[in-house]
Structure 1
């Protein structure tokens, strides 16, 4: 089946745009620009387009504009994909997820501006946006897959890899949430050393902020170890299945990059560019893990 070229361009634009929404949201949080437009939404400081532009206003207002424009692209993409690829099993479900979680993250963002939210609720914002990004990414892969047909119809995954794939994907959301909690509770620099909190000497955290920071580090360390174990298993048993093999090798690169940038975020005392890379790597990793789940849902049983 031939897919219209414009749909492919729309798919790529929607995926890149959703990534920009994620990074824009992270930029708003990391620069404390959330109140750049005051308590006004969808307007900014009582105006449709603000005439007084500060750095905070520029960051917050730009994020809103990008979210609005990309939101229209994603709705158009999801509807078109539904109509063009409705016969593909995953299409309708992913189209619904993309739109539902896009609207949900926008509403949470608006509620924060209008009324304020607790840190533990705000930490969900990034994770909800990630689900929408993952759905858009998978829809995009489906669009290209229909023409190219990679080798994903011949996937065979054993019980061990199935367990690890589902487990690490669910667990990655815990890591994502704890990372968002670090930002929203202002716990980023409560521990100035790495990997341990103070003078690299082992001691239990003494307050909530240290618990949040060190809890995230422990969670991140565990996912690195877990994906290394998975990658070794895949290297030994799945070299003949390119999508599975290269998917997990890339996941290994991403999780190591994620941990490395996390370390440098602390050591450079919140360098903005490294912090944004940190958000980028976890977004890409989560999207890739969701794709591994999609392949898992199509697989036939394998012995190991």
Structure 2
């Protein structure tokens, strides 16, 4: 039974990742109105006709989102019954379902009535929280048989502050990146990393400010994660989950920066742009897992203090 639950969890997590990338694909190809002002039907039809490339992309995104929503519902019920005794399970189930529904409602509202670009930029971030919740739920499921267990983690105060801070900040970076896409600011600066545009000067319009604001935010998170990785290499070699986890986080943020630069150099190559969205999604999921470990670390430290007191 648990083997089936594990496969369902993996399938749902990958499905949520496809929903994220599919949403980015819809935005980057300008396919958001591929089904007109109709939702959940496409152009008022169950099977749209005629089918244009934009219609196909939007319709496929809706089908995948609906299918993943169904999988998530089954996973939520199954997880609640099977591993509901684990303290994080019910919270993650409710969180993933809530943000998946919220994501769908914002998407529907954007199609039917239109939304501000600043509101639309929230859509990717909301999807990201739902994905991270499903990802963490999957890790909990794999912990049941103790083949993957990180319940004995101890994290010091400095590492906790940095981890919480960089995770919250990463969400702001995600929002700024989504804002770049929704305001069509991706290629407003033809140079990288600065926005010279043939004349060294400060940004001169909203689009340049949005683009350069995102680049600055991305630069800060790169340096921040590099520093945290340095701390983990120095002080957490014996705690392999943290040690290897932060090395992976650093690799992901490096790939994110490289992909961001290549978007400019290749003049918005679609595959690189989608990889850019993939890397930040994986990074946010990993940072969310570190937050879960922080919660466990606090519990472990309380238990250690209690054991020491009783031993006296």
Contact 2:143–2:149 (CA under 8 A) maintained in structure 1:
no
Cα offset, 1:201, TM superposition: 6.3
Q: How does 1:1-304 map to 2 (within 5 A)?
A: 4-199=2-197, 202-299=200-297, 300-301=300-301
CA distance in 2, matches of 1:153, 1:46: 51
**Structure 2: runs of 5 or more not aligned:** 303-312
CA distance in 2, matches of 1:143, 1:290: 16
What TM-score does the superposition give when structure 2 sets the normalisation length?
Answer: 0.94
1:41-70 deviations in whole A, cap 9, x for unaligned? 111112111121110000000000000011
- Give 4+ residue runs of structure 1 displaced > 6 Å after superposition: none
CA distance in 1, matches of 2:172, 2:43: 35
Cα offset, 1:220, TM superposition: 0.2
CA distance in 2, matches of 1:148, 1:294: 17
Quote the RMSD (CA, aligned, Å): 1.3
1:218-242 deviations in whole A, cap 9, x for unaligned? 0000000000000001000000001
SS of corresponding position for 1:143 = helix
CA distance in 1, matches of 2:200, 2:176: 21
What TM-score does the superposition give when structure 1 sets the normalisation length?
Answer: 0.96
Aligned residues: 300
Q: Which moved more, 1:62-71 or 1:292-301?
A: 292-301
Cα offset, 1:150, TM superposition: 3.5
1:148-188 deviations in whole A, cap 9, x for unaligned? 25351211100110000000000000000000000001111
Q: Which moved more, 1:101-110 or 1:143-152?
A: 143-152
Cα offset, 1:116, TM superposition: 0.3
Distance 1:151 1:37, change over 3 A: closer
Instruction: Report the equivalent of 2:307.
Output: none
Contact 2:142–2:148 (CA under 8 A) maintained in structure 1:
no
